[in-house]
């Protein structure tokens, strides 16, 4: 499938590649916190963020909450 076709099909469904990429990263981050109990820095590195601060900013945009708060919510100890 060509990039233009993909863009058209995503637009038809009211989304974009960037939006789907961000959604996938959000779900992976949440899974890593919940299942693996990973640190913020480890999750940022796993998701290929160059800087943990960029990850924290993106995470807050995706979820409306900070990674540390979500991490604490998933900590069942």
Model confidence at 76: pLDDT above 60: no
d(C-alpha 10, C-alpha 69), whole Å = 32
Q: Can you list the domains of the chain with their CATH numbers? A: 21-74 (1.10.10)
d(C-alpha 62, C-alpha 30), whole Å = 11
Q: Which residue do the tokens 């779900």 mark?
A: 27
- Please name which of 1, 51, 47, 53 lies closest in space to residue 22, comparing C-alpha atoms: 47
| Mean confidence (pLDDT) of the chain | 92
Residues 47 and 29: beta-carbon distance below 8 Å: yes
Of the pLDDT bands very low, low, confident and very high (cuts 50, 70, 90), residue 77 is low
pLDDT in tens, 11-30: 999 999 999 999 999 999 99
Q: What's the whole-number mean pLDDT along residues 35-45?
A: 90
The answer for residues whose C-beta is within 8 angstroms of residue 4's C-beta and 6 or more apart is: none
């Amino acid at each position: 499938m060509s990039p233009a076709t993909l863009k058209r099909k995503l637009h038809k469904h009211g989304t974009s590649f960037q939006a789907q990429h961000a959604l996938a990263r959000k779900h992976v981050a949440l899974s890593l916190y919940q299942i693996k109990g990973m640190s913020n820095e480890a999750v940022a590195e796993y998701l290929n963020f160059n800087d943990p601060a960029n990850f924290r900013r993106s995470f807050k945009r995706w979820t409306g909450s900070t990674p540390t708060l979500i991490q604490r919510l998933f900590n069942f100890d």
